[in-house]
Structure 1
Amino acid sequence: MPKNKGKGGKNRRRGKNENEEKRELIFKEDGQEYAQVLRMLGNGRLEAQCIDGTKRLCHIRGKMRKKVWVNAGDIVLVGLRDYQDAKADVILKYMADEARSLKQYGELPEHIRVNDTDAMMEGEDNENAEYFDFDDLAEI
């Protein structure tokens, strides 16, 4: 059995995620579009609703693949393809505060929900949620 020469395993090689500093807000250029992730498909792909009204199949670029985790509901910047309108490439994921800033600047429309997870966690006053008591079931 070989002797261990290194210090630690996979987690040590991965390093700490220390990119919490403020980064400059990046706006879209020509050939790019803002989109909201509808669902994750696996294998580095996702389905996104672009701001221009088109649903596109998007591919997460290799630089982001295992470093930036994209979830459903996130706001992303996608690069459009000249030769395939139904497909795009994810260039950048916006953090929640950056997405709120984009909304304030008028880059994102008003109907876009920036942080769905925060709204669901606060949701005591959510009238759409269906609650039931097990005591109610005993009466049936």
Structure 2
Amino acid sequence: MSQKKEIEERQEQLAEEIRRVKLPRGRQVFGLVDQLLGGTRMRVKCFDGKLRICRIPGRFKRFLWVRAGDTILVEPWELSGDKRGDVLFKYSRSQLQYLRNKGLLKDMQVFEEF
């Protein structure tokens, strides 16, 4: 494959990835993974100012790999929603850049000090 075609394919993939950015709906919030606790659990600083222990649901276990410092989409549980939640989506770098440009993550620098 020529370099020109490879570059074009990468740009198409990037554009396609940006179009499919999941936004929070209802009770869902953005979160920043603080610490991995083992298994499918992690400590997450949510953008609503709460610290939650979140888990990766069984349907995502094999496909969703999360590290400390990743930005994720969290859905708090109905019971004990202030302390626990489920991870729904992990944002890539290009998706985070898109969210910053749209103004949805404008307070992220203030949040990192939290």
**TM-score by shorter chain over 0.5:** yes
* TM-score, scaled relative to structure 2: 0.75
Deviations 1:67-113 (A, max 9, x none): 12100000000111121121010000111110111122121124057
Structure with the bigger percentage of helix: 2
Aligned partner (choices 77, 87, 92) of residue 90 of structure 1: 87
Deviations 1:31-80 (A, max 9, x none): 10000000111110000000111110001111221212100000000111
Larger Rg: 1
Say if 1:110 and 1:57 are closer, same or farther in 2 by CA, change over 3 A.
closer
CA distance in 2, matches of 1:67, 1:29: 22
Secondary structure of the 2:60 match is coil
Matched to 1:28, the amino acid is P
Task: Spell out the pairing of 1:25-64 with structure 2 (5 A cutoff).
Answer: 25-64=21-60
Structure 1 stretches of at least 4 aligned residues deviating more than 6 Å after TM superposition: none
Counterpart of 1:68? 64
Task: Spell out the pairing of 1:93-108 with structure 2 (5 A cutoff).
Answer: 93-108=90-105
Listed as ranges, the gaps of 5+ residues in structure 1 are 1-20, 114-140
* TM-score, scaled relative to structure 1: 0.62
CA distance in 2, matches of 1:94, 1:58: 16
Structure with the bigger percentage of strand: 2
Q: CA RMSD in A?
A: 1.4
